[in-house]
Structure 1
Amino acid sequence: MSGSFSRSQQTRKPGVTATSGGVVAAQHVRAAEVGAEVLAAGGDAVDAAVAVSFAIGVLEPWMSGPMGGGAMMLWRADENRAYALNYGMRSSTTLDPAHYPLSGAGKASDLFPWEAVLDDRNVTGATSVAVPGTMAGISAAHGRFGRMAWDTLLAPAVDLAKRGLHVDWYAALVIASSARDLARDPDAAAMYLDDGIWPKGSGWTALADQRLDQSRMAETLEQLAREGQQAFYHGDIAAALVRDVTEKGGFLSMDDLRDYAPVWSDPLSIPFRGGTVHAVPGLTAGPTLADTLDRWQAGYDAKDADTPAGYVARTEGLRAAYAHRLQNMGDHESPQAPGCTTHFSIVDRAGNMVAMTQTLLSLFGAKVVSGSTGLMLNNGIMWFDPEQGKANSLAPDKTCLMNVCPVIGETPTRRFALGASGGRKIMPAVAQISGHLMEQGMSMQDAIEAPRLDASGGAQVVADERLAGPVTDALAAHYPLALAQRLPFPFAFACPAGVMRAGTTNSGTTETMSPWGDGVAEPDQT
């Protein structure tokens, strides 16, 4: 396979460095700016995470929002320790598995190769909605570690929603990719489509300024700013969400919302190359990351990390770890699935860190908008296998199995917060970037920009075309191999965002090809 590609063009995204302030790296630069402004106002990394979480739910409404779920890792500099927080989605206590009969029509139409369910009820529509956790998770983190007022932190998201998301070329492309499904829900069509059919777009002129009407979302965010999670899980917003979901045929009750609680835990602390990687335990990709890193340490020496043999050993470790995951955790997401999630990483001037991943699961989640609240609904029910008798079979009141993998890593001289979006591709990206940082001493920018491979299930290994040559020759001798180009859309690999602290210097960046993502340093307030 040597010499298969020859390209002279190179694309780089310069990272940002701050010697006296914090850094935010997020999949939307405006959300990163919001977080950096919070840090400049004296906020903790957790305060910035609250502001970024809500802002990015407005700016990437097809990726995440209050109706989603996820997990985060936190580092507290004053305690010199990490915390894990899981706020994944759950199935409703009222869910009836009999409502999801297999159709006999082959495999499902989205991320997971489950047996198809009648009318794709577990994939799209209100029947695919699970109990959300993002609001509870970010509220719990703020209650424990936040310093700034809750309403102040939500104010930027409210302002962004009142203005409405500008539909540039990338937003128009994303909307167009799901327009057929969005057209099935009147509330989703009203927000994202013209005449209920055509995706919104700003036309052929750069001066056009078409925006989504997110005014109803703005009203909901204003109420959340005033009343906090009480309104979302107990009050008016909860009642509106239950009404909208059930009227559209789904399963959600007031008891589901009232009883939801995020889970604090000690992290998985994984020894690796003289350092430690802290990850979220439980039904996440954290246990599979631990398995992978253990296999890597046994499979090759750190000095061989950048050799063809090192790439083969990492590939074999990933394949073996995913084989164990598939057998024991019931995660069968397709390795070719795009995965629609958002991740951001934050470090403040004191060295506190947050790595936070939040998701609606599929792009646009259930493809359904709650008309009363303006919020896009998740399709977390798709995480479950609709066939009964499996490790991850669909059932009421059950925790969803996620592929999220936020981490805090540390060596004797540096510490980093890292994560990614991209479904099954998330963990391999986090593992490889962590390896670049801890085995080869790369900067965060170089580690994220370095070519990666994906071996997250299935026989085929996918390698960045920049590895063409001895590395791909060695891989092809062991596995079916495909080369892929790093593009803005669709992503062949995951979309990471990371920050690093060395001494008192902070740095950060995001996936090079992410059209909107960037790292932003805390503005100088002098």
Structure 2
Amino acid sequence: MNEQPVIRGGAQAWSLSKPQVAGARGIVVAQHREAAQIGANILSQGGNAMDAAIATALVLSVVEPWLSGIGGGGFLLHAAADGTVDALDFNLMSPQGLDPADYPLAGGSDGDWFDWPAVRDNRNITGGSSICTPGAVAGFAAALERFGTMSWADIVAPAAQIAVRGMTVDWFADLAFAVDRTNLLGNSAATMLFLNPDLRLPHPDTASATVLPMPNKAAALRRLAQNGPREFYEGETADLMLQDLAQVGSCISAKDLRDYNVVWQKPQVQDYRDRQICVIPGLSGGPSLLRALSHLQDRQLGTLSDAEQSAAHAVACREAYEDRLKTLGHAAATEDCTSHLSVIDAQGNMVSLTNTLLSRFGSKVVLPQTDIVMNNGMMWFDPRHGQPNSIAPGVKPLANMSPVIALRDGRPEIALGAAGGRQIFPAVLQILSHLIDRGDTPETAMARPRIDASTATILVDRRAAADVATAISEHHPVQLTDDTVYPVQFAIPSLVQAGQGDGMAAGAAHPVSPWAAAVAAP
């Protein structure tokens, strides 16, 4: 990472950049360097893109547990080197015994522009009543079984080993704990695990951080490795989870865990210029992304100025979001916290995988016998009755996640996605456009100032040229803001791209995210 101080208004700001990484043996890009490094090691050991992706995702559940993990769910796209693309839905499922009447409205606004009415006691946002049946373990296992080459036990092992040692706790981890301290204090297991300094040990590699061992999570991961993924849904781990879930008022049952199934689909595909853009169909951010790209298809964006192009992106995103609200319903708030990783291997296979707990630390519930942080998937349902995506038993919610794979000449070229709730598809749209319409390198595309058009007021990165905000303001209200570590304003994307010459690929991570990294297989 390169840093340069900038003085603005008497305060010191920093201009950050992260050079792209190139390699011929594969690249992993993730929101934590240690996880990306594990994935790259898997590639160097002969594993393929899916092996690396699942190992990386499992490690992320340990090293950055407030964003994603085995207590969550998600989507992934796999592209074989021959251009065959498959989509996997392992999103969360509401409990079968759920009663919508248990989520009474507390009054408030009418729900326009995402301003949904509150639910009494925030029952859909925090605590046991906000938890949905997690799909991550089932999804990881199904993906590995279909496309991986390594054993489930070998892929789980690195995450279990890191859980024994402990996640790194530096200033960035402490920031995450501090941001949600009040909420974490509402759950005794979360308080003990994340806010108790007595549990921390000296870091073996650096004096500037400590480690936080997670012995119960390590034990759960070892059971998964030894007994297989059904252990999570029907074994000892399932029993321990159900005991703890009952203690916090969750209605998730043994039947919910036993009956959970992933869904394999063919992707929704749409041409954009000379590429074919593949997304998750149905209840994801993918259809909205494709609708926005359709809006841009007839514009010659490569000939436009930065201001004109940004204005075109803003109009396309707003039009797509308005349609999303009318036809699909809820698209949750910007505080969503998610992990995205993108992988390419030496043969040209690609994976684009997004995994989430929804909010930071999900439901704020840690299951004490397994150290698993649980999702708050109920937040993704519309709390009003009779609406698209209303709260209901045994169904999946509408999600913002939007992993993408782009094909060129029938071969996978780009694997891209982002974390950041409703900021995701506007960020993905702009980066795709920069790569395709401008011919940007991954590094340049990731470093360009972005806008966020997920709400009626368009956020514009203060680093953008002055005429960008002026051009957008002709159609929408505008607010200038900084691209900060917290709060995240323009999503956190991860990107790999093939076709860099001589069999090389390139990967790039979000420059502002402290832990995000692209790592090439050695």
Deviation at 1:307, TM superposition (A): 4.1
Looking at structure 1, the residues matched to 18 and 94 of structure 2 have their Cα atoms a distance apart, in angstroms, of: 40
- TM (norm. structure 1) is 0.92
Secondary structure at 1:161's aligned position in 2? helix
Runs of 4+ in 1 over 4 A off after TM superposition: 3-9, 105-108, 199-202
Q: 2:495 aligns with which of 488, 494, 498?
A: 498
Task: Name the amino acid aligned to 1:401.
Answer: L
Write out aligned runs for 1:353-392 (5 A). 353-392=350-389
Secondary structure at 1:340's aligned position in 2? strand
For the 8 Å contact 1:191–1:213, the answer to whether it is kept is no
Q: 1:90 aligns with which of 93, 103, 113?
A: 93
Q: Greater CA deviation, 391-400 or 462-471?
A: 462-471
For the 8 Å contact 1:465–1:484, the answer to whether it is kept is yes
Instruction: Indicate the residue corresponding to 2:123 in structure 1.
Output: 121
Looking at structure 1, the residues matched to 11 and 211 of structure 2 have their Cα atoms a distance apart, in angstroms, of: 40
**Is 1:10 aligned to residue 15 of structure 2?**
yes
Q: 1:411 aligns with which of 408, 412, 421?
A: 408
Write out aligned runs for 1:311-326 (5 A). 311-326=310-325
Instruction: Indicate the residue corresponding to 2:278 in structure 1.
Output: 278
For the 8 Å contact 1:305–1:439, the answer to whether it is kept is no
Deviation at 1:491, TM superposition (A): 1.4
Deviation at 1:16, TM superposition (A): 0.6
Q: 2:55 aligns with which of 48, 51, 58?
A: 51
Instruction: Indicate the residue corresponding to 1:348 in structure 2.
Output: 345
Looking at structure 1, the residues matched to 168 and 274 of structure 2 have their Cα atoms a distance apart, in angstroms, of: 46
Q: 1:38 aligns with which of 20, 37, 42?
A: 42
**Is 1:70 aligned to residue 74 of structure 2?**
yes
Looking at structure 2, the residues matched to 433 and 243 of structure 1 have their Cα atoms a distance apart, in angstroms, of: 44
Q: Greater CA deviation, 446-455 or 483-492?
A: 483-492
Q: Greater CA deviation, 92-101 or 508-517?
A: 92-101
Looking at structure 2, the residues matched to 408 and 328 of structure 1 have their Cα atoms a distance apart, in angstroms, of: 25
Secondary structure at 2:270's aligned position in 1? strand
Deviation at 1:81, TM superposition (A): 1.3
Deviation at 1:6, TM superposition (A): 12
Equivalenced residue count is 509
Instruction: Indicate the residue corresponding to 2:508 in structure 1.
Output: 509
Looking at structure 2, the residues matched to 132 and 447 of structure 1 have their Cα atoms a distance apart, in angstroms, of: 34
Deviation at 1:468, TM superposition (A): 3.1
Looking at structure 1, the residues matched to 236 and 223 of structure 2 have their Cα atoms a distance apart, in angstroms, of: 9
Deviation at 1:68, TM superposition (A): 0.3
Deviations 1:53-77 (A, max 9, x none): 1101001100111110110111101
Instruction: Indicate the residue corresponding to 1:189 in structure 2.
Output: 191
Instruction: Indicate the residue corresponding to 1:447 in structure 2.
Output: 445
Deviations 1:347-394 (A, max 9, x none): 000000001000000000000011121100100011111111111111
Secondary structure at 2:106's aligned position in 1? strand
Secondary structure at 2:19's aligned position in 1? coil
Root mean square deviation, CA, Å: 2.4
Secondary structure at 1:372's aligned position in 2? coil
Looking at structure 1, the residues matched to 322 and 510 of structure 2 have their Cα atoms a distance apart, in angstroms, of: 27
Deviation at 1:80, TM superposition (A): 2.2
Secondary structure at 1:180's aligned position in 2? helix
Q: Greater CA deviation, 325-334 or 139-148?
A: 325-334
Secondary structure at 1:382's aligned position in 2? helix
**Is 1:290 aligned to residue 290 of structure 2?**
yes
Deviation at 1:29, TM superposition (A): 0.3
For the 8 Å contact 1:172–1:200, the answer to whether it is kept is no
For the 8 Å contact 1:408–1:416, the answer to whether it is kept is yes
For the 8 Å contact 2:96–2:393, the answer to whether it is kept is yes
Deviation at 1:332, TM superposition (A): 4.0
Looking at structure 2, the residues matched to 252 and 317 of structure 1 have their Cα atoms a distance apart, in angstroms, of: 40
Deviation at 1:339, TM superposition (A): 2.1
Secondary structure at 2:469's aligned position in 1? helix
Deviation at 1:306, TM superposition (A): 3.8
Task: Name the amino acid aligned to 1:229.
Answer: P
For the 8 Å contact 1:21–1:348, the answer to whether it is kept is yes
Task: Name the amino acid aligned to 1:117.
Answer: V
Looking at structure 1, the residues matched to 190 and 365 of structure 2 have their Cα atoms a distance apart, in angstroms, of: 6
Task: Name the amino acid aligned to 2:52.
Answer: A
Instruction: Indicate the residue corresponding to 2:102 in structure 1.
Output: 99
Task: Name the amino acid aligned to 1:10.
Answer: S
Write out aligned runs for 1:459-470 (5 A). 459-470=456-467
Looking at structure 2, the residues matched to 8 and 330 of structure 1 have their Cα atoms a distance apart, in angstroms, of: 38
Q: Greater CA deviation, 500-509 or 154-163?
A: 500-509
Deviation at 1:194, TM superposition (A): 2.7
Segments of 5+ residues of structure 2 without an aligned counterpart are 1-7
Identical aligned residues as a percent: 38
For the 8 Å contact 1:129–1:377, the answer to whether it is kept is yes
Secondary structure at 2:223's aligned position in 1? helix
Write out aligned runs for 1:111-190 (5 A). 113-190=115-192
